[in-house]
Amino acid sequence: MRENFLWGTATASYQCEGGWDEGGRVPSLWDTYLHNNQLENGNVASDHYHQYKEDIRLMKEGGHKSYRFSLAWPRLIKNLEGEINPEGVQFYHNIIDECLTNGIEPFVTIFHWDLPQYLEDIGGWTSRRVVTAYEELAKLVFSEYGEKVTYWTTFNEPRYYVFSGYKIGNYPPGVNDTQKTIEASFYMMLANAKAIKIYKDMNLKGEIGIVHSYAPIFGVDDSLETKIAMRNADNYFNNWILDTAIKGELPIDMLTRLNDKYDLSFIQTQDLQDMKENTVDFIGLNYYARALIRPYSGGETVLRINNSGSSAKGTSKVVVKNWFEQVWDPNSEFTEWDTEIFPQGLYEGILMAHKKYGIPIYVTENGVADYEDVSVEQVNDEKRIAFLNDHIDAIIRAVEAGADVRGYYIWSTMDLYSWKNGCEKRYGLVAIDWEDNCKRKPKNSYYWYKKVCESNGEMI
């Protein structure tokens, strides 16, 4: 691997910080939604808000070269009038400074889903006003941290956020409305372009990208019908983020299709111009699994409810009416949380993205969830080690085949709050003992990954 390859781990503010009502933080839409529905929440999460120094110390000791984390908007800007919260601003200075002092490169996500409730109250991402609010946030964080941070991403997984919140409806704001899904998606991509423009105009030294929930598309066979279904699925899962962010163009065949049924008049010519002129320097790919596609065979749309905790082990299917169907190979291996384990999808997916776009790639999330008993001194997470080993091997093979991959981040640094599945869904290299004041206990995988980082991947 290249000399300065960024070996790291990743978190997101709402999922790890806790301190939800401390330091001047105002509620996010997740606080409101989880509290109102009396669901397990991130009030405490991994207590990173109080224990970040210990976490960064563990990263250093664990050989990490970089830490991917996100900034909580509700900590930074308190209201619609744009009032800045100095304590929140200072908190991220502290995290960034602690990283730099310990030789850890901060890799910062501006938005990882914790929209302030005051913005949700005016329509959330379906409102153009939120794009302006995001521009204000971008200006603030670039001017505060821009001299210290080299790697920026505008959004974490717009597709996953928008589909879960506006189409499937199992995440806040809990809506099932295709028109709103289209509007929210568009406004997020517009906000991405606007933030890139702000960043470039400030002449800062770093790079800026976007993080996508990547579903490399595979077909059940080589027929023409399957190839057409695969193109539709690629538009649905990937292209409207990646083509828009990298090439500055929404996929025209997708737009044409949507235009037949939905109202796209909210899109202004200047928006398309902004997208065209402001594209990313790199892409962040979060890889958990591929999408296996076959042609649409009839019936109404059926979506898979992510995080339902079911154990369908590949027997379910997704139908997007008149577009495609997604199926799972029942002979594949699945995690305890019903995600297919398919490292070859990462290898092929990286090469697909490399061939199509040719810009630098960071694998910004990859990991596996399990149920674990953390009352023991050191969790023996052999399954996680095997999973990570095979996925890192896939990246190394992709690099050998010519792809420009510059970093890899395991999800997650420590156990944290997993959206809707709470804290029992453990992804961390470091266990959090919620029964013992969020005590940190590195797992076997933590020590294994230390060797990977220190050998720059040679030990795989």
Question: Residues with catalytic annotation?
Answer: 365
CB of 168 to ligand BG6, least distance (A): 12
Binding mask 2-31 for ligand BG6 (x = CB under 6 A): ----------x--x----------------
Does residue 307 touch ligand BG6 according to CB under 6 A? yes
- Residue 68 or 231: the one with the smaller Cβ distance to ligand BG6 is 68
Binding to ligand BG6 (CB under 6 A) within 318-347 occurs at: none
Q: How many CA atoms lie within 13 A of 262 on its CB side?
A: 15
Whether 370 contacts 336, CB under 8 Å: yes
Whether 403 contacts 5, CB under 8 Å: no
- Residue 102 or 307: the one with the smaller Cβ distance to ligand BG6 is 307
Query: Cis before residue 412, ω within 30 degrees of 0?
Result: yes
Structure tokens at 371: 């149920």
Structure tokens at 357: 């776009």
CB of 303 to ligand BG6, least distance (A): 15
Q: CA distances (Å), 183 to each of 179, 282, 426, in order?
A: 6, 25, 33
Binding mask 50-89 for ligand BG6 (x = CB under 6 A): ----------------------------------------
Q: Which of 104, 119, 131, 369 binds ligand BG6 (CB under 6 A)?
A: 369
Q: Which of 98, 91, 106 minimizes the C-alpha distance to 8?
A: 106
Q: Which residues of 53-74 are buried (b: 16+ CB within 10 A; e: fewer)?
A: ebbbebbbebbbbbbbbbbbbb
Q: Which of 243, 271, 365, 372 binds ligand BG6 (CB under 6 A)?
A: 365
Percentages of the chain per state (helix, strand, coil), in multiples of 5: 40, 20, 40
- Residue 296 or 411: the one with the smaller Cβ distance to ligand BG6 is 411
Structure tokens at 143: 């001017």
Q: CA distances (Å), 395 to each of 64, 242, 285, 401, 448, in order?
A: 17, 20, 12, 10, 17
What is the sign, positive or negative, of the torsion defined by CA atoms of 398, 232, 229, 330?
A: positive
Does residue 418 touch ligand BG6 according to CB under 6 A? yes
Does residue 425 touch ligand BG6 according to CB under 6 A? yes
Which residues have a Cβ under 8 Å from the Cβ of 112 and sit 6 or more positions away?
A: 12, 13, 14, 15, 70, 155, 156
Span interacting with ligand BG6, options 114-122, 171-179, 230-238, 419-427, rule CB under 6 A = 419-427
Q: Which of 213, 235, 278, 279 binds ligand BG6 (CB under 6 A)?
A: 213
CB of 393 to ligand BG6, least distance (A): 21
Q: Which residue is nearest to ligand BG6 (CB)?
A: 418
Binding to ligand BG6 (CB under 6 A) within 225-284 occurs at: none
Q: Which residue has the tokens 């892409």?
A: 283
Q: Which of 9, 181, 286, 366 binds ligand BG6 (CB under 6 A)?
A: 286
Residue type, 80: L
Q: Which of 134, 214, 419, 449 binds ligand BG6 (CB under 6 A)?
A: 419
Whether 84 contacts 116, CB under 8 Å: no
CB of 161 to ligand BG6, least distance (A): 9
Does residue 218 touch ligand BG6 according to CB under 6 A? no
Span interacting with ligand BG6, options 171-179, 257-265, 416-424, 446-454, rule CB under 6 A = 416-424
CB of 134 to ligand BG6, least distance (A): 18
- Residue 296 or 409: the one with the smaller Cβ distance to ligand BG6 is 409
H or E element, residue 178: helix 178-201
Which residues have a Cβ under 8 Å from the Cβ of 81 and sit 6 or more positions away?
A: none
CB of 109 to ligand BG6, least distance (A): 9
- Residue 421 or 456: the one with the smaller Cβ distance to ligand BG6 is 421
CB of 251 to ligand BG6, least distance (A): 22
Binding mask 132-161 for ligand BG6 (x = CB under 6 A): ------------------------xx--x-
Q: Is 313 left (phi over 0), alpha (psi -120 to 50) or beta?
A: left
Residue count, binding to ligand BG6 (CB under 6 A):
15
Please tell me the distance from the alpha carbon of residue 395 to that of residue 220, in angstroms, as a whole number: 24
Please tell me the distance from the alpha carbon of residue 366 to that of residue 388, in angstroms, as a whole number: 8
Identify the burial level of 169 via C-beta atoms within 10 angstroms of its C-beta, where 0-12 means exposed, 13-18 middle and 19 or more buried: middle
CB of 125 to ligand BG6, least distance (A): 16
Does residue 181 touch ligand BG6 according to CB under 6 A? no
Q: Which residues bind ligand BG6 (CB under 6 A)?
A: 12, 15, 156-157, 160, 213, 286, 307, 365, 369, 411, 418-419, 421, 425
